[in-house]
Amino acid sequence: MTPENAMGAHIHVVRFAPAKLNLTLAVVGRRKDGYHSLYSVMVPLALGDALTVSTPPSGTAADSLRITGLPLPPEPDNLVLRAIAAARAEVEAGVAGTPAPPLAVRLAKRIPVAAGLGGGSSDAAAAIEAALAAWGAVLAPSRKAALAAALGSDVPFFLAGGAALVTGRGEFVEPLPDVVGEQPAVLLVTPRLPLATADVFKAYAGASAEPDAARASEISERLAADMKAGLTAATLLERLLGLASANSLRPAAESLVPGLGKFAVELESVVDRPVCQSGSGPTLWSLYANLAEARKAVRFVRLAVANGTLPLLGEGEPFVAATTIAGRPMPPPVLLPGRATGTIRPRTVHNESGANGQGHNEPAPEPVESKGDRTR
């Protein structure tokens, strides 16, 4: 396990960390460990972060993390660094006496903060894979799955890759086929007010009347079954109205953010179609047949913000982007024997410019999600 060869060249590994979309999210019970049991159909998006792992100069004693865009808080508890440390512990436990050297990490953030899109969990999964590649190490699937689940509830989904039915608190991931045909495009609208997952679950648990869990579960089960049977993209778009009522956490999110419900109603009027919520929110989304239609919707939303038709929530204009559901990725290339440097390229990111017009999908910081995943 030597990421630096005899000539002093260094390994350089890049991983793409996609955002996720909850097409459905049914809360189906409370577990003894304090988590809620979920039944969710999730898909990765072509919008995402890019994580680069390299071997630092000789003599470096610890892992380092440099973030571009709006930086994350410089905490030693950062989820990316925690993921690498946990992967190192697994590797060193399996290969006695062989240390896994420190790594230098660069993270380009493009996924909005605490938005229900799983940015921190995706970064953690990408960090695990990149670190193992840099060290030339392999973990048994069961050990890697346990490592991912310990880091956060969404991490196992990102480690598996592709559309999936996610159950338990997130640790059980059953791959689903991609929808048949061109992958649908997605409009994302995220108000500028980060919403902690733990707070949303707390509001859900404390609500006087819980949402209709049976309806969300029914829609989720039907969607999963139909994807296994070969659901077409056109049929998925036809079910958008049902998907808008298939997130058990939506009422809780709206109870925590005054005006979020009204914002969603106004957004539906602007785009003239149902609007759904991803995860614990506050990101709202809708589906389109292709990226051109979704980009047109982005323009409509920005115009509505500019003329006051769409009310502002939080600090400033919302994050607005057009992207697509991402098909199941091909396995990344491996480093060839005898090559000192290897680069694994991320998949293309279809990001729209941010609301402030600063080029390719305005980057934003992402909080550590491992704490936010726990429900209390």
Give, in order, the Cα–Cα distances in Å from 312 to each of 35, 116, 254, 264: 33, 19, 15, 11
Catalytic residue from among 49, 154, 212, 226: 154
- Is residue 277 within 8 Å of residue 253, measured between CB atoms? yes
- Is residue 193 within 8 Å of residue 115, measured between CB atoms? no
Residue 123 annotated to the active site:
no
What CA–CA distance (Å, rounded) separates 11 from 132?
12
| CB-facing half-sphere around the CA of 108: CA atoms within 13 A | 15
Residue 296 annotated to the active site:
no
- Is residue 283 within 8 Å of residue 112, measured between CB atoms? yes
- Is residue 111 within 8 Å of residue 154, measured between CB atoms? no
DSSP 354: P
- Is residue 329 within 8 Å of residue 161, measured between CB atoms? yes
At 20, give phi and psi (nearest 5°): -125, 160
CA angle 279, 226, 326 (to 5 degrees): 50
DSSP 314: B
- Is residue 9 within 8 Å of residue 54, measured between CB atoms? no
DSSP 201: H
What CA–CA distance (Å, rounded) separates 121 from 83?
10
Alpha helices in the chain (DSSP H): 79-94, 119-135, 141-151, 155-160, 197-206, 213-229, 233-238, 240-243, 250-256, 260-271, 291-307
Neighbours of 240 (CB within 10 A): 18
Provide the annotated active-site residues. Answer: 20, 154
